[in-house]
Chains A and B, each alone.
Chain A
Amino acid sequence: QKEVEQDPGPLSVPEGAIVSLNCTYSNSAFQYFMWYRQYSRKGPELLMYTYSSGNKEDGRFTAQVDKSSKYISLFIRDSQPSDSATYLCAIDEEYGNKLVFGAGTILRVKS
């Protein structure tokens, strides 16, 4: 079983839709939860950073962590064509030495 599972998609939505991206994980020691966005032919860039459980909002983006279910989500409101990218969840332990990445979900927002 992979440490982090993420549906690879692709996920295709119309402009303005609400997008929900999700990851599940198996290691209860994970404490740091991140979402990275990767445009084609670019390196991943940090989008959201959360420590432990709860919600975090930044503009149109909301990250949720449910540690009891080992489930993390990223919501994108009013999605735009510029949001078309691959979204990677990344998780770290309290005293780890690396980020564990999901496989990434390809998102396409159609105008």
Chain B
Amino acid sequence: EAQVTQNPRYLITVTGKKLTVTCSQNMNHEYMSWYRQDPGLGLRQIYYSMNVEVTDKGDVPEGYKVSRKEKRNFPLILESPSPNQTSLYFCASSLGWGRSGANVLTFGAGSRLTVL
């Protein structure tokens, strides 16, 4: 089954304790992205990657890191989490970008993160 898998689905942590949210897709997609979803603000892009070793900042990158060493994986790293990073996080992927039909995102099921 074609899918985007992210883990963990739920996580409660404390301020300053580094954590990684993993994301993997099995569709050979070039483009991957992380979004956070907050009430009233919708989905906001954190980072995206056009391909292996190519990453760039989205709209809200502060406090996050990413890497894209393999095409299928795109982990999100919170080096020193803070309470304002409490949110619902989604990883998504697509065939590519810049051409019709390629910019359809397939989303993971989400990771709910609480930082105390």
Chain A interface residues (CB < 8 Å from chain B):
4, 6, 8, 32, 34, 41-46, 49, 51, 88, 90, 92, 94-99, 101-104
In the bound assembly, the distance between CA atoms of A97 and B51 in angstroms comes to: 12
Partner of B108, one of A43, A51, A99: A43
Partner of A44, one of B33, B41, B90: B90
Chain B interface residues (CB < 8 Å from chain A):
4, 33, 35, 40-45, 48, 50, 56, 58, 90, 92, 97-98, 100-101, 103-105, 107-110
Further 10 A-B residue pairs, CB within 8 A, beyond A43-B108, A97-B56: A32-B100, A32-B103, A41-B110, A44-B43, A44-B105, A45-B107, A51-B100, A97-B48, A101-B43, A103-B40
Partner of A103, one of B35, B42, B97, B104: B42
Listed A/B pairs (7) with beta-carbon separation below 8 Å:
A42-B109, A43-B92, A44-B43, A88-B42, A96-B97, A98-B48, A101-B44
In the bound assembly, the distance between CA atoms of A32 and B97 in angstroms comes to: 11
What's the least CB distance linking A92 to chain B, in Å? 5
Chain B residues within an 8 Å CB radius of A46: 104-105
Assuming the contacts A41-B110, A42-B110, A43-B110, asked whether A95 and B40 have C-beta atoms less than 8 A apart, the reply is no
Chain A residues within an 8 Å CB radius of B110: 41-43
Partner of A98, one of B42, B45, B100, B104: B45
Question: Which residue from chain A places its CB closest to the CB of B43 in the assembled complex?
Answer: A101
Chain B residues within an 8 Å CB radius of A101: 35, 42-44
Chain A residues within an 8 Å CB radius of B48: 97-98
Chain B residues within an 8 Å CB radius of A32: 100, 103
Counting chain A CB atoms within 10 Å of each CB, which of B35, B41, B42 scores highest? B42
